[in-house]
Amino acid sequence: MKGSLVVVGFFVLGCLLGWSGALPDVILENDITVYVLYLLMFLVGLSIGSDKKLKQILSSIRPRLLLVPLSTIVGTLSFSALVSLFITQWSVFDCLAVGSGFAYYSLSSILITEMKTASLGVQMATELGTIALMANIIREIFALLGAPLFVRYFGRLAPICAGGATTMDTTLPIITRYAGKDMVFVSIFHGILVDFTVPFFVSFFCSFS
């Protein structure tokens, strides 16, 4: 939760600096966000590839284990599509792009803002990126605070599905505490796989005007 608040703090700081006009024009150019996005994608790959448990996880994969991240993806996208029925401002594909962040707020918000600028314009694309940022931060916070209730009422896999892409890092300790240490492997595998799908799903849904 502390990490989420730090991210929101930096976001607010960026908004204030951009509004004040204190930054050099070169920083405000659109092209710089592309390079930031490239760097972020590189760091994502570096984080996944350098995980010492990755080899063990890959060698221990069983077909049934794939049902956990699959359930998370299908459930999230289904609910995102359902929400679009009540929101007239955004299309079903916009809502699906936001949901495809799977709590990975930093990557999804940047991707959406960058990819939707051409079709929606800078202001609307930024607004949708901000929605993605806040929605996915809130998802992580709910996973952190609601883990004991999820386990009690929905079972030990519930907080893992709720955590989305964060179950390999930020929500792993709370999941381990309430779901049990034997769920660590499932949680890490789930997080890696869902994390890997974020850029693909977000890019796919953003490609629809």
pLDDT at 60 over 80: no
Check: pTM over 0.85? Answer yes or no.
no
pLDDT at 53 over 80: no
> Position of tokens 């869902």?
194
| Mean of per-residue pLDDT scores for the chain | 83
> pLDDT tens for residues 61-95?
677 888 999 999 999 999 999 999 998 899 999 99
Write down the pLDDT at residue 59.
65
Q: Determine the Cα–Cα distance for residues 160 and 143; give it in Å rounded to an integer.
A: 8
Q: Determine the Cα–Cα distance for residues 52 and 2; give it in Å rounded to an integer.
A: 25
Measured in whole angstroms, the distance separating CA 101 from the mean position of its chain's CA atoms is: 3
Lowest mean pLDDT among 40-54, 123-137, 144-158, 181-195: 40-54
Residues 161, 71 contacting (CB under 8 angstroms): yes
* pLDDT band at residue 139 under the 50/70/90 scheme: very high
Separation in Å, CA 55 to CA 46, 51, 184, 202: 14, 8, 15, 27
> pLDDT tens for residues 141-169?
899 889 999 999 999 999 999 999 999 88
Lowest mean pLDDT among 27-41, 146-160, 175-189: 27-41
- The residues, any chain, with a CB within 8 Å of residue 132's CB and separated by 6 or more, are 97, 98, 101, 105, 108, 109, 112
